[in-house]
Amino acid sequence: MYLKLLLQIEWLVKKIFEYLKGKGQTNVALISGNGGFGKSMRGQCKDVASDYGIKIVADETYGPKDTDMTSQLTKIKSMENVQAVVNPGFGQGPAIVTKKLQTIRNDSNFSTISWCCI
């Protein structure tokens, strides 16, 4: 089961990076949960980013019980070169991040990709 999940994470990360590269969005911020799924996805993103011409320009995490990720998102928002945010996690975290990102970054040329494992 664990190997199957790792292979699915690897496939998912490749598809996300192919999509972003196709849109010309190669400067990516990661904000991920620090639970098992978030850590695995974050690690895979960092491992293969350069294979797709993706540069990880920010790398933030949050805990499973966090309900306010404002400090992490403010850091990401302050970076002018961020073109996309990849937000893997488990439970409520990815939804909170996605909702907050919509209020602080309203740009049609900006992608937010959240992947939640419930």
**Residues 60, 10: Cα–Cα separation, whole Å:** 20
pTM for the model stands at 0.82
**Per-residue confidence (pLDDT) for residue 46, from 0 to 100:** 94
Q: Report domain extents, the chain.
A: 27-117
Average pLDDT, the chain: 82
For residue 108 the two structure tokens come to 């049609």
pLDDT digits (tens, 9 = 90+) for 8-51: 778 888 888 999 999 999 999 999 988 888 888 899 999 999 99
Pick the CATH number of 27-117 from 3.40.50.2300, 3.10.450.240, 3.40.50.300, 3.40.1350.10: 3.40.50.2300
Burial of 86 (0-12, 13-18, 19+ CB in 10 A): buried
pLDDT digits (tens, 9 = 90+) for 59-72: 999 998 889 998 99
Give the CA radius of gyration of the chain: 13
pLDDT band of residue 111 (cuts 50, 70, 90) is low
Q: Where are the beta strands (DSSP E) in the chain?
A: 27-33, 55-62, 84-90, 111-117
The SS3 of residue 79 is coil
Residues contacting 65, CB < 8 A, separation 6+ = none
- Please check the confidence at residue 4 and state whether its pLDDT lies above 80: no
